[in-house]
Amino acid sequence: MDLGKTIAVRYETVDEGSAGQRIDNYLVRRLKGVPKSHIYRILRSGELRVNGGRVSQTYRLQIGDQIRIPPLRLAEPGEAVPIPAGRPLPIVWEDDALLVVDKPAGLAVHGGSGVSYGVIEQLRRQRTDARFLELAHRLDRETSGLLIVAKKRSALTVLHDRMRRGAIGKRYLTLVQGRWLEPCRHLRQPLTKYLTEQGERRVRVDRDGKAAHSIVHLVRRWQHCSLLEVELRTGRTHQIRVHLTDAGFPLMGDAKYGDFALNKRLERQGLDRMFLHAWRLDFRHPLTDARIRLEAPLPEALEAFLAEVEQTQEREHG
């Protein structure tokens, strides 16, 4: 197939080797040369059909699913963005079934929706001998910290099941605006996704939304901000950000739900990212059932900002 040409409509049947994959990951691997923006467009528009119906990009394939892929244009010469090998991602844990990386802020977990590549594409580029690499869960692009990648489909299936049951402990550190007073508080507001007029994906509290549960622990507080640890019992999109903003404590540096005027001031003070870090994972190995507890300390930039907060408080109240 020549670049610049169009692939005719095609039909595929999901076999055992592809079952359990997200439809977007499946298409990215199957449709070499097709820009990711095209793949996500046919998913959003409903042009792609599974068993005759529309599916979202998060749909997980089942054995025997019938996929209809509409005509698609291949990338024009020079249009495709090469995936750089880049610096090796920090590996916190690895064996023959999975690996855990300490994702830096600003790097998406996968390409699509205007992003050329992410963690998973970079790992595949760096590890050309790996037969299987798939994300077990996701982190927002602006969030740093621990991210699990499966190296075997059997491990991925178990991890996904445990994620759905809330059997994988995930804890985050975040700095929020305001003085949080309670040692521990449960936030259970249901959440729903929606699109803004500009087509941006957002989330809001909605009594008819999906159940969501965050447990917030106070770590430290100052006059105008608080350091919190948030334990997730569910894994909804933007859950921590929306739950805390709804409670009146927006995350510092959050460009979507935060205090935008404050964020501008924070940039001048050295905080040029959202203060949210996935710092701890606690789970059973998907194949051996051995207990694994992993931690990733706060990035240097966030530690430096906390030190500045501490010094400012000492100057004001010393």
User: How far, in Å, CA of 123 to CA of 292, rounded?
Assistant: 22
Q: What is the pLDDT of residue 75?
A: 57
Tokens of 162: 């445990």
Q: What is the pLDDT of residue 77?
A: 47
Q: Evaluate whether 166 touches 236 at the Cβ level (below 8 Å).
A: no
**Per-residue pLDDT tens for 131-154?**
899 999 999 999 999 999 999 999
Residue ending a domain, among 43, 73, 103, is 73
**According to the 3-state scheme, what is the secondary structure of 46-66?**
CCCEECCECCCCCCECCCCCE
By residue range, what is the domain housing residue 191?
Answer: 91-317
Residues 60 and 135 in one domain: no
Examine residue 82 and state whether it is found in any structural domain, yes or no.
Answer: no
Examine residue 79 and state whether it is found in any structural domain, yes or no.
Answer: no
Residues 288 and 151 in one domain: yes
> Number of structural domains, the chain?
2
3-state secondary structure of 71: coil
Cβ neighbours for 18, distance < 8 A, ≥ 6 positions apart: 26, 61
Q: Which helix (H) or strand (E) holds 23?
A: helix 23-30
Low-confidence ranges of the chain (pLDDT < 70): 1-7, 73-86, 112-116, 317-318
Q: What is the pLDDT of residue 170?
A: 97
Q: What is the pLDDT of residue 195?
A: 85
Which residue numbers are catalytic?
140
Name the pTM for this structure: 0.76
Residues 22 and 59 in one domain: yes
Q: What is the pLDDT of residue 87?
A: 72
Specify the residue for token string 């019938």.
Answer: 66
**Per-residue pLDDT tens for 74-115?**
655 444 445 555 678 899 999 999 999 999 999 999 876 555
Q: What is the pLDDT of residue 55?
A: 92
Q: Evaluate whether 154 touches 173 at the Cβ level (below 8 Å).
A: no
Q: What is the pLDDT of residue 119?
A: 92
Residues 34 and 66 in one domain: yes
User: How far, in Å, CA of 307 to CA of 177, rounded?
Assistant: 16
Helix axes 23-30, 36-45, angle to 10 degrees: 140
**DSSP notation for 138-201:** ---TT-EEEEEEESSHHHHHHHHHHHHTT-SEEEEEEEEES----SEEEE---EEEEE-TT--E
What angle (nearest 5°) sits at the alpha carbon of residue 57, between those of residues 54 and 62?
Answer: 70
Cβ neighbours for 86, distance < 8 A, ≥ 6 positions apart: 122, 125, 126
Residue ending a domain, among 73, 107, 130, is 73
Residues 23 and 124 in one domain: no
Give the CA radius of gyration of the chain: 21
CATH of the domain at 56: 3.10.290.10
Dihedral sign computed on CA atoms, order 27, 195, 276, 187 = negative
Residues 95 and 24 in one domain: no
